[in-house]
Amino acid sequence: MTLRTRTPGFTLVEAIVVMAIIGIISGMVALFIRAPILGYRDAVDRAELTDQADLALRRMARDIRLALPNSVRVSADGSAIEFLQTRSGGRYLAAEDGVSGLPVLDFEDATKRSFTVFAPPASFSQVVPNSDWLVVYNLGTGFAPADAYQGGNIAKITAVAADPNNATLKPIATVTLASNPFAAQSPSMPSPTSSFQVVSGAVSFYCQAQGDGTNTLWRAWNYGINAQQAVPSGGERAVMASRLASCNNLFSYGSAATQRSSLVLLALTLNGRYPDSQPVRLVHQVHVDNTP
């Protein structure tokens, strides 16, 4: 008599039951861990957005605080801000000082391009001849010839000669300009305190739409000083922030209230990496010195 023996294994029904049970358990596990994973993803994305916006606002604030008095201007839609960035400053020798033997900043004779500066020579250690500009009594838009953007009170510096050992007045330096536009002013606009600023050029922060539909905030520098504000051409530029929600109303300085209080308002709204991510919005106020 032959006895039948059962081969170890499992039947098709048993396999289907096991797969069904595993599927149910997997679905329950996925349901419970999905929320924490999405929460972690959103937290990381929000931290990156916050860091990016905060870094951009701090960099813009640092640069704007160095703006030449009354040189800040904002585009009509608030997508761009431009200003002339100061590098140094001091007091110039004027004819009213009554000092003989030293050149003065002449507001009458255009052929006189050198003048004496009352300032420690060390303060001019970063001034770059043929690159930096000297500005006297800038009052800004609508106050020609005291508007540096219009060219009436700004001149290129060609030489700086320190004279710390002068026996009469020290420490002093002699500055030579490429031209003397101050003698051509009508009316003449000397500084009441005989002060001046040295600017390294124009700086802009502006937003542009990209080909992929996102908006990017740029910093531009080393381009020409233009009478009218426009998107900078030439020079250098670098990305400050990406994925901006909109290019409008990033900067505000056009109202009478903000100008009287010398406050520049900055507002950045950045979108996250994912369609369901919440945007991050940071707002910052920057005080600028508008005393020329």
Q: Is residue 6 part of a domain?
A: no
Q: Is 156 a member of any domain?
A: yes
Q: What is the token pair recorded at 53?
A: 């916006």
Q: How many CB atoms lie within 10 A of CB 221?
A: 16
- Whether the per-residue pLDDT at 142 is higher than 70: the answer is yes
Express each pLDDT in 66-125 by its tens digit.
999 999 999 999 999 999 999 999 999 999 998 888 899 999 999 999 999 987 667 787
My answer on whether 217 and 271 are in the same domain is yes
Q: Is residue 66 domain-shared with residue 115, that is, in the same domain?
A: no
Instruction: Verify that 51 and 189 share a domain, yes or no.
Output: no
Q: What pLDDT band is residue 209 in, cutting at 50, 70 and 90?
A: very high
Q: Which one is predicted more confidently, 43 or 268?
A: 268
Residue 147 in domain = yes
Asked whether residue 28 is assigned to any structural domain, the reply reads no
Please report the sign of the dihedral spanned by the C-alpha atoms of residue 211, residue 215, residue 220, residue 223: positive
Give the mean model confidence (pLDDT) for residues 138-159: 94
- My answer on whether 256 and 122 are in the same domain is no
Range(s) of the domain holding residue 282: 46-83+202-287
Indicate whether this model's pTM tops 0.75. yes
Q: How far is CA 8 from CA 5, 11, 17, 70, 87, in A?
A: 9, 10, 18, 91, 88
Collapse the DSSP code of 241 into the 3-class scheme (helix H, G, I; strand E, B; otherwise coil) and give the result: strand
Q: Both 135 and 216 in a single domain?
A: no
Two structure tokens written together for 277: 């991510």
What pLDDT sits at residue 258? Answer: 62
Q: Which of 247, 279, 210 is nearest to 78 (CA)?
A: 247
What is the pLDDT confidence band of residue 169, given thresholds at 50, 70 and 90?
A: low
Backbone angles phi, psi at 179, to 5 degrees: -155, 170
Give yes or no for a contact between 182 and 107, defined as CB atoms under 8 angstroms apart.
Answer: yes
Q: Are residues 213 and 68 in the same domain?
A: yes
For residue 52, pLDDT beyond 80: yes
**CA count, 13 A, side-chain hemisphere, 74:** 20
Examine the domain organization and report whether 276 and 196 are in the same domain: no
Does residue 198 contact residue 127 with C-beta atoms inside 8 Å?
yes
Place of tokens 């049970």: 21
Q: Comparing C-alpha atoms, which of 201, 205, 202, 241 is closest to residue 74?
A: 205
Cis peptide upstream of residue 292 (ω within 30 degrees of 0): no
Angle at 274 between CA 278 and CA 211, to 5 degrees: 110
Number of separate domains in the chain: 2
- 3-state DSSP: the chain helix, strand, coil percent, rounded to 5? 25, 30, 45
HSE value, Cβ hemisphere, 13 Å, CA-based, for 218? 16
Residue where a domain terminates, one of 169, 200, 231: 200
* Arithmetic mean of pLDDT, 228-247: 94
At residue 128, φ and ψ (nearest 5 deg) are -110, 105
Q: Coil, strand or helix: which one is 245?
A: coil
Torsion of CA 2, 3, 9, 14, to 10 degrees: 110
Residue 142 lies in a domain: yes
Regarding whether 206 and 196 lie in a shared domain, the answer is no
The amino acid occupying position 144 is A
Residues 60 and 163 in one domain: no
Cβ–Cβ under 8 Å, residues 183 and 155:
no
254, part of any domain: yes
Are 96 and 196 within one domain?
A: yes
